[in-house]
Amino acid sequence: MRSKSLLFISNFAGLIAFFWPFLPLGSSQPIFARTAFSFAIGMFAIAMIASETSERLLDSKTVAIIGVLAALISALRLLGAGAIGIEPMWFLLIIATRAFGIALGYPLALVSFGVSALISGGVGPWLSFQMFAAGWIALGVALIPRKLSGRMEVAALSIYGIATSFFFGLVMDLQLWPWLVGTDTQLSFDSRLGAIENLSRFLTFHLASAMAWDLPRALTTSLLIAISARPILNSLRRASLRLNFSGRGQELTEPLQQVR
């Protein structure tokens, strides 16, 4: 129960932190608000992972699996550093979450981004936003029907990789937009305008600036999934059976499965 509560509260805070430009929250101290939200989200993320471990949803062997996969995903993220939209870590996160479920995939996403930021020196107010965007991508894997197998499963994962590549670009632009554009352009966030007008400005900014990143990310992710999903899924599922992980963390998966 505590895990579900922390999962809901932390992600609700994340939604507010991302979408505050469209909410009637006031704008007298936007920079302070952003910093406070970022810190709160990071603390909720740490609390959620600690709660998972303390409730024995993640035993020592599973924590070791998270460590190995997080190291691999962090290394893959570094491979794409400096290349426009070339971010190969997403395919492994999506495949690992499909194999082990979101009870492992969600903390794996948070840990992977945290580790890669520490290695690359990418720690900043944006980090918690990246962590939660990655966590939401992991959570969304539960929406893919479990009964799919073979080529249909690979195709569904590839399509999901494309969709989430554009999703990641969208939400990361959203947290960046109020600060990057400034305050005196036709695309700037303006607290005096309504949510619809600010949304229009944001979408114009995003469509004008994001395609050079989002398209390569989507192509890279979907291609790597199509090539490697079957052997990696088979290997990770054998590991899941040996660890008897498939039956654990079910209380986190069922709410998303009921959405389908």
Q: Name residues whose C-beta falls within 8 Å of residue 162's C-beta, 6 or more positions apart in sequence.
A: 218, 221, 222
Instruction: Give the three-state DSSP class for 126.
Output: coil
Please give the pLDDT value at position 184. Answer: 72
Please give the pLDDT value at position 252. Answer: 46
Please give the pLDDT value at position 260. Answer: 43
Chunked mean pLDDT (size 10), the chain, 260 residues:
65 76 60 58 61 59 82 83 73 93 86 81 75 90 92 95 93 81 73 79 84 88 94 88 58 44
DSSP assignment of 156-201: HHHHHHHHHHHHHHHHHHHHHHHHHS-SSSTTS--TTS-HHHHHHH
The two tokens of residue 244 are 């008897």
The two tokens of residue 169 are 């670009």
Taking the C-alpha atoms of residue 72 and residue 79, their distance in angstroms, rounded to an integer, is 11
Q: How many other CB atoms are there within 10 angstroms of residue 4's CB atom? A: 12
Please give the pLDDT value at position 36. Answer: 62
Domains of the chain: 2-257 (1.10.1760.20)
